[in-house]
Structure 1
Amino acid sequence: MNICMAHRGWSGKAPENTMTAIRLALAEPAIKAMEIDVQLTRDGVPVLIHDFTLERTTNGRGLVMDRTLAELRELDAGSWFGDKFAGERIPTLEEALIAVKGRCTLNIELKATSDMYPDIAEKVLALVEKHGMKQEVYLTSFDHDLIRHVRTLDQEVQTGLIVYGRPVLMLEQMEAAGATILSMGYPFLNRELTVAAIEKGFKVIAWTLDDPKHIREVISWHPQVQICTNHPDRMWEFV
Protein backbone atom coordinates (compact mmCIF):
# COMPACT_ATOMS: atom_id res chain seq x y z
CA MET A 1 0.00 0.00 0.00
CA ASN A 2 1.43 3.37 -1.05
CA ILE A 3 1.92 5.65 1.96
CA CYS A 4 0.38 9.11 1.79
CA MET A 5 2.72 11.73 3.27
CA ALA A 6 1.25 15.17 3.97
CA HIS A 7 3.70 17.85 2.81
CA ARG A 8 4.38 20.40 5.58
CA GLY A 9 1.25 19.11 7.28
CA TRP A 10 -1.95 19.32 5.26
CA SER A 11 -0.68 22.43 3.54
CA GLY A 12 -3.40 22.45 0.92
CA LYS A 13 -5.92 23.23 3.67
CA ALA A 14 -3.93 25.24 6.21
CA PRO A 15 -0.73 27.29 6.44
CA GLU A 16 2.30 25.04 5.96
CA ASN A 17 4.36 23.91 8.94
CA THR A 18 1.78 25.08 11.49
CA MET A 19 0.02 23.16 14.23
CA THR A 20 -3.29 23.56 12.40
CA ALA A 21 -1.83 21.90 9.28
CA ILE A 22 -0.40 19.14 11.47
CA ARG A 23 -3.67 18.55 13.32
CA LEU A 24 -5.62 18.37 10.06
CA ALA A 25 -3.25 15.69 8.77
CA LEU A 26 -3.44 13.75 12.03
CA ALA A 27 -7.25 13.78 11.89
CA GLU A 28 -7.24 11.84 8.58
CA PRO A 29 -6.54 8.12 9.19
CA ALA A 30 -5.42 7.59 5.57
CA ILE A 31 -2.46 9.92 6.10
CA LYS A 32 0.28 7.67 7.48
CA ALA A 33 3.21 10.12 7.34
CA MET A 34 3.92 13.83 7.44
CA GLU A 35 6.81 16.00 6.27
CA ILE A 36 7.94 19.12 8.13
CA ASP A 37 10.87 21.54 7.79
CA VAL A 38 13.11 22.43 10.73
CA GLN A 39 15.57 25.26 11.33
CA LEU A 40 17.13 26.74 14.46
CA THR A 41 16.35 30.03 16.15
CA ARG A 42 19.13 32.37 17.22
CA ASP A 43 18.92 30.84 20.68
CA GLY A 44 19.17 27.30 19.29
CA VAL A 45 15.58 26.06 19.40
CA PRO A 46 14.38 23.82 16.52
CA VAL A 47 11.30 25.37 14.90
CA LEU A 48 9.10 24.57 11.91
CA ILE A 49 9.53 26.83 8.90
CA HIS A 50 10.59 26.17 5.31
CA ASP A 51 12.17 29.36 3.99
CA PHE A 52 15.39 30.74 5.43
CA THR A 53 13.68 34.14 5.40
CA LEU A 54 10.44 35.14 7.09
CA GLU A 55 8.68 37.19 4.42
CA ARG A 56 6.69 34.54 2.52
CA THR A 57 4.95 32.75 5.40
CA THR A 58 4.94 35.33 8.22
CA ASN A 59 4.55 39.07 8.75
CA GLY A 60 8.21 39.25 9.77
CA ARG A 61 11.32 40.16 7.81
CA GLY A 62 14.87 38.87 7.70
CA LEU A 63 16.48 35.54 8.46
CA VAL A 64 14.96 32.90 10.73
CA MET A 65 18.37 32.26 12.28
CA ASP A 66 18.66 35.90 13.39
CA ARG A 67 15.53 35.73 15.60
CA THR A 68 15.09 34.24 19.04
CA LEU A 69 12.21 31.90 19.72
CA ALA A 70 10.44 34.65 21.66
CA GLU A 71 10.75 36.99 18.69
CA LEU A 72 9.48 34.37 16.25
CA ARG A 73 6.52 33.60 18.52
CA GLU A 74 5.31 37.16 18.08
CA LEU A 75 4.91 36.73 14.34
CA ASP A 76 1.72 35.84 12.48
CA ALA A 77 2.36 32.68 10.45
CA GLY A 78 -1.19 32.21 9.18
CA SER A 79 -2.70 35.36 7.67
CA TRP A 80 -0.79 34.93 4.40
CA PHE A 81 -2.83 31.77 3.78
CA GLY A 82 -6.21 33.13 4.84
CA ASP A 83 -7.83 35.50 7.31
CA LYS A 84 -9.23 32.67 9.41
CA PHE A 85 -5.67 31.56 10.20
CA ALA A 86 -4.62 34.95 11.58
CA GLY A 87 -2.58 34.54 14.74
CA GLU A 88 -1.18 31.13 13.83
CA ARG A 89 2.30 30.84 15.32
CA ILE A 90 5.56 29.21 14.25
CA PRO A 91 5.65 25.93 16.19
CA THR A 92 8.64 24.33 17.85
CA LEU A 93 9.75 20.88 16.78
CA GLU A 94 8.99 19.68 20.29
CA GLU A 95 5.34 20.74 19.95
CA ALA A 96 5.11 18.81 16.68
CA LEU A 97 6.73 15.70 18.18
CA ILE A 98 4.32 15.71 21.11
CA ALA A 99 1.33 16.00 18.76
CA VAL A 100 2.50 13.31 16.33
CA LYS A 101 3.93 10.70 18.72
CA GLY A 102 2.30 7.33 18.19
CA ARG A 103 0.08 8.59 15.37
CA CYS A 104 2.14 8.73 12.18
CA THR A 105 5.66 8.78 10.78
CA LEU A 106 7.30 12.22 10.84
CA ASN A 107 9.73 13.12 8.06
CA ILE A 108 11.88 15.91 9.50
CA GLU A 109 13.75 17.83 6.82
CA LEU A 110 16.83 19.52 8.25
CA LYS A 111 16.69 22.83 6.38
CA ALA A 112 20.36 23.57 6.63
CA THR A 113 23.85 22.88 5.62
CA SER A 114 26.17 21.63 8.30
CA ASP A 115 27.89 25.04 8.22
CA MET A 116 24.70 27.09 8.57
CA TYR A 117 23.41 25.34 11.69
CA PRO A 118 26.41 23.36 12.98
CA ASP A 119 24.50 21.68 15.80
CA ILE A 120 21.09 21.16 14.21
CA ALA A 121 21.53 17.37 14.06
CA GLU A 122 22.42 17.16 17.76
CA LYS A 123 19.49 19.34 18.82
CA VAL A 124 16.93 17.49 16.71
CA LEU A 125 18.20 14.08 17.78
CA ALA A 126 18.08 15.13 21.43
CA LEU A 127 14.39 15.97 21.13
CA VAL A 128 13.62 12.79 19.20
CA GLU A 129 15.33 10.75 21.90
CA LYS A 130 13.68 12.72 24.71
CA HIS A 131 10.26 11.78 23.36
CA GLY A 132 11.19 8.19 22.51
CA MET A 133 10.49 8.60 18.80
CA LYS A 134 13.55 7.14 17.06
CA GLN A 135 11.37 4.53 15.37
CA GLU A 136 8.79 7.12 14.28
CA VAL A 137 10.89 9.68 12.42
CA TYR A 138 13.00 10.12 9.32
CA LEU A 139 15.76 12.75 9.29
CA THR A 140 16.32 13.97 5.73
CA SER A 141 18.35 16.72 4.06
CA PHE A 142 19.75 17.94 0.76
CA ASP A 143 23.13 18.09 2.51
CA HIS A 144 24.93 14.74 2.22
CA ASP A 145 27.54 15.72 4.80
CA LEU A 146 24.84 16.55 7.32
CA ILE A 147 23.19 13.15 6.85
CA ARG A 148 26.56 11.44 7.22
CA HIS A 149 26.97 13.40 10.47
CA VAL A 150 23.56 12.27 11.71
CA ARG A 151 24.61 8.68 11.07
CA THR A 152 27.78 9.12 13.13
CA LEU A 153 25.67 10.45 16.00
CA ASP A 154 22.99 7.77 15.89
CA GLN A 155 22.85 4.36 14.23
CA GLU A 156 19.13 3.78 14.84
CA VAL A 157 17.28 6.72 13.38
CA GLN A 158 16.36 6.45 9.69
CA THR A 159 18.04 8.99 7.42
CA GLY A 160 17.47 10.11 3.87
CA LEU A 161 18.88 12.22 1.06
CA ILE A 162 16.64 14.77 -0.61
CA VAL A 163 17.36 15.21 -4.31
CA TYR A 164 15.99 17.51 -6.98
CA GLY A 165 17.70 16.34 -10.12
CA ARG A 166 19.08 13.04 -11.37
CA PRO A 167 22.65 12.55 -10.10
CA VAL A 168 24.73 9.70 -11.44
CA LEU A 169 25.35 6.74 -9.11
CA MET A 170 22.40 7.78 -6.95
CA LEU A 171 22.15 4.55 -4.98
CA GLU A 172 25.89 4.52 -4.42
CA GLN A 173 25.63 8.04 -3.02
CA MET A 174 22.91 6.83 -0.69
CA GLU A 175 25.13 4.08 0.64
CA ALA A 176 28.07 6.47 1.05
CA ALA A 177 25.93 8.79 3.16
CA GLY A 178 24.56 5.96 5.28
CA ALA A 179 21.06 6.88 4.10
CA THR A 180 18.17 4.44 3.82
CA ILE A 181 15.63 6.82 2.26
CA LEU A 182 15.66 8.44 -1.19
CA SER A 183 13.43 11.53 -1.25
CA MET A 184 13.38 12.72 -4.86
CA GLY A 185 11.51 15.40 -6.76
CA TYR A 186 9.05 13.39 -8.83
CA PRO A 187 9.97 14.94 -12.23
CA PHE A 188 13.35 13.19 -11.92
CA LEU A 189 12.11 9.87 -10.60
CA ASN A 190 11.15 6.98 -12.86
CA ARG A 191 9.98 3.42 -12.55
CA GLU A 192 13.44 1.93 -13.08
CA LEU A 193 15.13 3.89 -10.29
CA THR A 194 12.16 3.45 -7.94
CA VAL A 195 12.13 -0.31 -8.33
CA ALA A 196 15.93 -0.59 -8.11
CA ALA A 197 16.04 1.48 -4.91
CA ILE A 198 13.24 -0.43 -3.21
CA GLU A 199 14.70 -3.80 -4.22
CA LYS A 200 17.98 -2.74 -2.57
CA GLY A 201 16.07 -2.05 0.65
CA PHE A 202 15.75 1.74 0.40
CA LYS A 203 12.53 3.63 1.04
CA VAL A 204 11.49 5.98 -1.79
CA ILE A 205 9.56 9.22 -1.32
CA ALA A 206 8.31 11.09 -4.39
CA TRP A 207 7.62 14.82 -3.93
CA THR A 208 5.61 16.98 -4.35
CA LEU A 209 2.74 15.36 -6.26
CA ASP A 210 -0.47 17.39 -6.43
CA ASP A 211 -1.82 16.49 -9.89
CA PRO A 212 -3.94 13.30 -9.70
CA LYS A 213 -2.58 12.00 -13.01
CA HIS A 214 0.97 12.26 -11.68
CA ILE A 215 -0.05 10.55 -8.45
CA ARG A 216 -1.66 7.72 -10.40
CA GLU A 217 1.44 7.26 -12.56
CA VAL A 218 3.94 7.18 -9.69
CA ILE A 219 1.98 4.77 -7.51
CA SER A 220 1.75 2.42 -10.50
CA TRP A 221 5.53 1.97 -10.36
CA HIS A 222 5.64 0.19 -7.00
CA PRO A 223 3.23 -0.36 -4.08
CA GLN A 224 5.85 0.86 -1.60
CA VAL A 225 6.68 4.27 -3.08
CA GLN A 226 5.58 7.03 -0.68
CA ILE A 227 3.68 10.01 -2.08
CA CYS A 228 4.40 13.41 -0.55
CA THR A 229 1.59 15.83 -1.41
CA ASN A 230 0.03 19.13 -0.37
CA HIS A 231 -3.39 17.63 -1.17
CA PRO A 232 -3.67 14.13 0.34
CA ASP A 233 -7.35 13.88 -0.62
CA ARG A 234 -6.34 13.76 -4.29
CA MET A 235 -4.67 10.43 -3.66
CA TRP A 236 -7.62 8.57 -2.13
CA GLU A 237 -9.14 7.24 -5.35
CA PHE A 238 -5.89 5.50 -6.31
CA VAL A 239 -5.17 3.55 -3.13
Structure 2
Amino acid sequence: MNNPCVAHRGWSGRAPENTMAAFRMALEAPEVAWIELDVQLSKDAVPVVIHDYNLRRTTNGRGEVRDWTAAELASLDAGSWFSPKFKGESIPTLDEVLRESAGRAKLNIELKTDGIRYPGIEGKVLERVYEYGRQEDVVFTSFHPGTLQRLRKLSDHVRLGLILDGWRNTLLQELRELKSDFLSIGYAKLNPARMALLNEAGIQTMAWTVNDKRNMRKVAALDPDLLICTNYPDRWRDMVSESGAKSMSRRMLEGSKKWFRFKPNK
Protein backbone atom coordinates (compact mmCIF):
# COMPACT_ATOMS: atom_id res chain seq x y z
CA MET A 1 0.00 0.00 0.00
CA ASN A 2 1.83 3.08 -1.27
CA ASN A 3 -0.93 5.51 -2.14
CA PRO A 4 0.42 9.06 -2.54
CA CYS A 5 -0.70 11.45 0.20
CA VAL A 6 -2.22 14.82 -0.72
CA ALA A 7 -2.38 17.47 2.02
CA HIS A 8 -5.77 19.15 1.65
CA ARG A 9 -5.33 22.94 1.84
CA GLY A 10 -1.99 22.11 3.43
CA TRP A 11 -1.92 20.25 6.74
CA SER A 12 -5.28 21.76 7.56
CA GLY A 13 -6.00 19.44 10.48
CA ARG A 14 -3.18 21.05 12.46
CA ALA A 15 -2.92 24.57 11.04
CA PRO A 16 -5.31 27.08 9.45
CA GLU A 17 -6.19 25.96 5.94
CA ASN A 18 -4.53 27.56 2.92
CA THR A 19 -1.95 29.45 4.98
CA MET A 20 1.81 29.22 4.77
CA ALA A 21 1.80 27.61 8.21
CA ALA A 22 -0.30 24.73 6.87
CA PHE A 23 1.75 24.46 3.69
CA ARG A 24 5.10 24.48 5.50
CA MET A 25 3.90 21.84 7.91
CA ALA A 26 2.91 19.64 4.96
CA LEU A 27 6.18 20.30 3.14
CA GLU A 28 8.19 19.20 6.16
CA ALA A 29 6.41 15.83 6.20
CA PRO A 30 8.20 13.30 3.97
CA GLU A 31 4.95 11.37 3.47
CA VAL A 32 3.27 14.29 1.66
CA ALA A 33 3.69 14.00 -2.11
CA TRP A 34 1.10 16.60 -3.14
CA ILE A 35 -0.51 19.72 -1.72
CA GLU A 36 -4.01 20.82 -2.74
CA LEU A 37 -4.85 24.54 -2.59
CA ASP A 38 -7.52 26.99 -3.74
CA VAL A 39 -6.88 30.11 -5.82
CA GLN A 40 -9.00 33.21 -6.39
CA LEU A 41 -8.21 36.70 -7.70
CA SER A 42 -7.90 39.84 -5.63
CA LYS A 43 -9.46 43.13 -6.71
CA ASP A 44 -6.20 43.98 -8.49
CA ALA A 45 -6.13 40.58 -10.24
CA VAL A 46 -3.42 38.92 -8.13
CA PRO A 47 -3.86 35.15 -7.59
CA VAL A 48 -4.38 34.59 -3.85
CA VAL A 49 -4.86 31.38 -1.90
CA ILE A 50 -8.16 31.03 -0.06
CA HIS A 51 -11.13 28.67 -0.31
CA ASP A 52 -14.31 30.62 0.42
CA TYR A 53 -15.51 33.48 -1.76
CA ASN A 54 -16.44 35.28 1.45
CA LEU A 55 -13.78 36.25 3.99
CA ARG A 56 -15.85 35.76 7.14
CA ARG A 57 -15.14 32.10 8.01
CA THR A 58 -11.34 32.07 7.88
CA THR A 59 -10.28 35.70 8.39
CA ASN A 60 -11.14 38.81 10.36
CA GLY A 61 -12.25 40.50 7.14
CA ARG A 62 -15.75 40.92 5.77
CA GLY A 63 -17.17 40.80 2.29
CA GLU A 64 -15.80 38.97 -0.73
CA VAL A 65 -12.21 38.25 -1.69
CA ARG A 66 -12.64 39.99 -5.05
CA ASP A 67 -13.46 43.30 -3.33
CA TRP A 68 -10.06 43.56 -1.60
CA THR A 69 -6.64 44.26 -3.13
CA ALA A 70 -3.83 41.77 -2.62
CA ALA A 71 -2.15 44.14 -0.13
CA GLU A 72 -5.38 44.53 1.82
CA LEU A 73 -5.92 40.77 1.90
CA ALA A 74 -2.35 40.24 3.12
CA SER A 75 -3.07 42.51 6.09
CA LEU A 76 -5.91 40.30 7.35
CA ASP A 77 -5.56 37.72 10.11
CA ALA A 78 -6.22 34.29 8.59
CA GLY A 79 -5.02 32.23 11.55
CA SER A 80 -6.75 33.26 14.78
CA TRP A 81 -10.04 31.56 13.85
CA PHE A 82 -8.17 28.24 14.04
CA SER A 83 -6.05 28.85 17.13
CA PRO A 84 -4.55 31.88 18.94
CA LYS A 85 -1.07 30.53 18.24
CA PHE A 86 -1.61 31.19 14.54
CA LYS A 87 -2.59 34.81 15.01
CA GLY A 88 -1.14 36.92 12.24
CA GLU A 89 -1.09 34.22 9.57
CA SER A 90 -2.03 35.94 6.35
CA ILE A 91 -3.72 35.00 3.09
CA PRO A 92 -0.80 33.99 0.88
CA THR A 93 -0.35 34.79 -2.77
CA LEU A 94 0.06 31.94 -5.23
CA ASP A 95 3.62 33.17 -5.80
CA GLU A 96 4.49 32.46 -2.16
CA VAL A 97 3.28 28.88 -2.39
CA LEU A 98 4.99 28.27 -5.73
CA ARG A 99 8.31 29.48 -4.30
CA GLU A 100 8.05 27.56 -1.03
CA SER A 101 6.99 24.23 -2.57
CA ALA A 102 9.43 24.16 -5.50
CA GLY A 103 11.25 20.83 -5.60
CA ARG A 104 9.40 19.62 -2.49
CA ALA A 105 5.85 18.72 -3.52
CA LYS A 106 3.53 18.68 -6.48
CA LEU A 107 0.58 21.05 -6.46
CA ASN A 108 -3.10 20.54 -7.18
CA ILE A 109 -4.29 24.10 -7.86
CA GLU A 110 -8.05 24.46 -7.78
CA LEU A 111 -9.37 27.51 -9.57
CA LYS A 112 -12.28 28.78 -7.50
CA THR A 113 -14.69 30.12 -10.08
CA ASP A 114 -18.18 29.41 -11.29
CA GLY A 115 -17.31 30.50 -14.80
CA ILE A 116 -18.59 34.06 -14.29
CA ARG A 117 -16.62 35.11 -11.24
CA TYR A 118 -12.98 36.04 -11.91
CA PRO A 119 -12.86 36.47 -15.69
CA GLY A 120 -9.30 35.85 -16.87
CA ILE A 121 -8.27 33.82 -13.80
CA GLU A 122 -6.99 31.02 -16.04
CA GLY A 123 -4.38 33.19 -17.71
CA LYS A 124 -3.32 34.89 -14.47
CA VAL A 125 -2.72 31.59 -12.68
CA LEU A 126 -1.06 29.96 -15.68
CA GLU A 127 1.31 32.93 -15.99
CA ARG A 128 2.46 32.56 -12.38
CA VAL A 129 3.03 28.83 -12.72
CA TYR A 130 5.14 29.29 -15.86
CA GLU A 131 7.03 32.16 -14.22
CA TYR A 132 8.29 29.72 -11.58
CA GLY A 133 8.81 26.86 -14.02
CA ARG A 134 6.31 24.66 -12.18
CA GLN A 135 4.20 23.53 -15.14
CA GLU A 136 5.59 19.99 -14.99
CA ASP A 137 4.57 19.34 -11.38
CA VAL A 138 1.22 21.10 -11.22
CA VAL A 139 -2.30 20.01 -12.11
CA PHE A 140 -5.04 22.62 -12.54
CA THR A 141 -8.46 21.52 -11.31
CA SER A 142 -11.94 22.99 -11.30
CA PHE A 143 -15.58 22.07 -10.81
CA HIS A 144 -16.32 24.16 -13.89
CA PRO A 145 -15.56 22.49 -17.26
CA GLY A 146 -15.50 25.84 -19.06
CA THR A 147 -12.58 26.93 -16.89
CA LEU A 148 -10.63 23.86 -17.94
CA GLN A 149 -11.52 24.46 -21.59
CA ARG A 150 -10.11 27.99 -21.37
CA LEU A 151 -6.94 26.68 -19.76
CA ARG A 152 -6.53 24.14 -22.53
CA LYS A 153 -6.83 26.88 -25.15
CA LEU A 154 -4.04 28.74 -23.38
CA SER A 155 -1.73 25.73 -23.15
CA ASP A 156 -1.63 22.29 -24.76
CA HIS A 157 0.89 21.03 -22.24
CA VAL A 158 -0.45 21.63 -18.74
CA ARG A 159 -2.37 18.94 -16.85
CA LEU A 160 -6.06 19.49 -16.20
CA GLY A 161 -8.45 17.78 -13.82
CA LEU A 162 -12.19 17.88 -13.33
CA ILE A 163 -13.55 18.00 -9.77
CA LEU A 164 -16.87 16.44 -8.88
CA ASP A 165 -18.69 14.77 -6.03
CA GLY A 166 -20.67 12.32 -8.09
CA TRP A 167 -20.47 9.93 -11.02
CA ARG A 168 -22.08 10.07 -14.42
CA ASN A 169 -21.88 7.73 -17.39
CA THR A 170 -20.54 10.53 -19.60
CA LEU A 171 -17.59 11.25 -17.31
CA LEU A 172 -14.86 9.52 -19.31
CA GLN A 173 -16.04 11.15 -22.51
CA GLU A 174 -16.01 14.55 -20.80
CA LEU A 175 -12.44 14.00 -19.62
CA ARG A 176 -11.37 13.00 -23.14
CA GLU A 177 -12.95 16.12 -24.62
CA LEU A 178 -11.16 18.28 -22.05
CA LYS A 179 -7.87 16.48 -22.81
CA SER A 180 -7.73 15.81 -19.09
CA ASP A 181 -5.89 12.93 -17.46
CA PHE A 182 -6.79 13.76 -13.85
CA LEU A 183 -9.96 13.38 -11.79
CA SER A 184 -10.61 14.77 -8.30
CA ILE A 185 -13.63 13.00 -6.84
CA GLY A 186 -15.36 12.54 -3.50
CA TYR A 187 -14.06 9.26 -2.12
CA ALA A 188 -17.52 7.80 -1.45
CA LYS A 189 -18.25 7.84 -5.19
CA LEU A 190 -15.46 5.40 -6.02
CA ASN A 191 -15.79 1.61 -6.24
CA PRO A 192 -13.73 -1.17 -7.88
CA ALA A 193 -15.63 -1.05 -11.18
CA ARG A 194 -15.28 2.72 -11.54
CA MET A 195 -11.64 2.58 -10.53
CA ALA A 196 -11.03 -0.03 -13.24
CA LEU A 197 -12.66 2.21 -15.86
CA LEU A 198 -10.53 5.17 -14.82
CA ASN A 199 -7.33 3.14 -14.87
CA GLU A 200 -8.16 1.73 -18.31
CA ALA A 201 -8.66 5.28 -19.58
CA GLY A 202 -5.31 6.39 -18.13
CA ILE A 203 -6.87 8.81 -15.64
CA GLN A 204 -4.93 9.62 -12.48
CA THR A 205 -7.46 9.86 -9.68
CA MET A 206 -7.50 11.70 -6.37
CA ALA A 207 -10.07 10.78 -3.70
CA TRP A 208 -11.16 13.55 -1.34
CA THR A 209 -11.39 14.22 1.57
CA VAL A 210 -10.53 11.12 3.62
CA ASN A 211 -9.90 11.92 7.27
CA ASP A 212 -10.26 8.67 9.22
CA LYS A 213 -8.02 5.64 8.98
CA ARG A 214 -10.85 3.16 8.44
CA ASN A 215 -11.98 4.91 5.25
CA MET A 216 -8.38 5.49 4.20
CA ARG A 217 -7.80 1.73 4.26
CA LYS A 218 -10.97 1.08 2.25
CA VAL A 219 -10.13 3.70 -0.35
CA ALA A 220 -6.46 2.69 -0.57
CA ALA A 221 -7.51 -0.91 -1.25
CA LEU A 222 -9.19 0.20 -4.49
CA ASP A 223 -5.85 0.92 -6.17
CA PRO A 224 -2.27 1.43 -4.93
CA ASP A 225 -1.80 4.54 -7.09
CA LEU A 226 -5.00 6.28 -6.02
CA LEU A 227 -4.11 9.66 -4.47
CA ILE A 228 -5.61 10.12 -1.00
CA CYS A 229 -6.43 13.71 -0.11
CA THR A 230 -6.66 14.37 3.62
CA ASN A 231 -6.55 17.09 6.26
CA TYR A 232 -4.46 14.72 8.41
CA PRO A 233 -1.33 13.36 6.71
CA ASP A 234 -0.28 11.86 10.06
CA ARG A 235 -3.34 9.58 9.99
CA TRP A 236 -2.40 8.54 6.45
CA ARG A 237 1.12 7.74 7.67
CA ASP A 238 -0.21 5.73 10.61
CA MET A 239 -2.63 3.86 8.36
CA VAL A 240 0.15 2.90 5.95
CA SER A 241 2.39 1.84 8.85
CA GLU A 242 -0.33 -0.23 10.49
CA SER A 243 -1.33 -1.85 7.20
CA GLY A 244 2.29 -2.70 6.48
CA ALA A 245 2.76 -4.23 9.92
CA LYS A 246 -0.40 -6.32 9.55
CA SER A 247 0.67 -7.47 6.10
CA MET A 248 4.10 -8.47 7.40
CA SER A 249 2.54 -10.33 10.32
CA ARG A 250 0.26 -12.25 7.95
CA ARG A 251 3.20 -13.20 5.74
CA MET A 252 5.22 -14.34 8.74
CA LEU A 253 2.28 -16.35 10.06
CA GLU A 254 1.66 -17.97 6.68
CA GLY A 255 5.34 -18.74 6.37
CA SER A 256 5.49 -20.33 9.81
CA LYS A 257 2.41 -22.44 9.09
CA LYS A 258 3.96 -23.60 5.85
CA TRP A 259 7.23 -24.46 7.65
CA PHE A 260 5.44 -26.50 10.30
CA ARG A 261 3.27 -28.19 7.67
CA PHE A 262 6.23 -29.37 5.63
CA LYS A 263 8.78 -29.83 8.39
CA PRO A 264 10.43 -33.22 7.70
CA ASN A 265 10.41 -35.94 10.33
CA LYS A 266 13.68 -36.60 12.04
TM range, normalised to the smaller chain? over 0.9
CA deviation after TM superposition for structure 1 residue 199, in Å: 2.3
Residue 136 of structure 1: aligned partner: 137
CA deviation after TM superposition for structure 1 residue 183, in Å: 0.3
TM-score when scaled to structure 2?
0.88
What secondary structure, in the 3-state scheme, does the structure 2 residue paired with 1:162 have? strand
Moved more, 192-201 or 38-47: 192-201
Residue 263 of structure 2: aligned partner: none
CA deviation after TM superposition for structure 1 residue 195, in Å: 2.2
Structure 1 contact 145–177 (Cα < 8 Å) conserved: no
Q: Which amino acid aligns with 2:176?
A: E
Residue 117 of structure 1: aligned partner: 118
Which structure features the higher share of helix residues? 2
What secondary structure, in the 3-state scheme, does the structure 1 residue paired with 2:98 have? helix
The separation in 2 between residues aligned to 1:139 and 1:190, in whole angstroms, is 24
Moved more, 49-58 or 150-159: 150-159
The separation in 2 between residues aligned to 1:166 and 1:200, in whole angstroms, is 15
Moved more, 200-209 or 184-193: 184-193
Q: Which runs of 5+ in 2 are unaligned?
A: 241-266
Matched residues, number: 239
C-alpha RMSD over aligned residues: 0.9
Deviations 1:153-192 (A, max 9, x none): 1111111000012223211111122211010011212221
Residue 250 of structure 2: aligned partner: none
Larger Rg: 2
Moved more, 113-122 or 87-96: 113-122
CA deviation after TM superposition for structure 1 residue 214, in Å: 0.7
Deviations 1:77-131 (A, max 9, x none): 0000000000100000000000011111100000012321111110111011010
Residue 98 of structure 2: aligned partner: 97
Residue 220 of structure 1: aligned partner: 221
Q: Which amino acid aligns with 1:39?
A: Q
Structure 1 contact 147–178 (Cα < 8 Å) conserved: no
Structure 1 contact 75–90 (Cα < 8 Å) conserved: yes
Tell me the percent identity: 48
Question: Structure 1 residue runs of 4+, over 6 Å off?
Answer: none
CA deviation after TM superposition for structure 1 residue 152, in Å: 1.2
What secondary structure, in the 3-state scheme, does the structure 2 residue paired with 1:113 have? coil
Q: Which runs of 5+ in 1 are unaligned?
A: none
Residue 179 of structure 2: aligned partner: 178
CA deviation after TM superposition for structure 1 residue 25, in Å: 0.3
TM-score when scaled to structure 1?
0.98
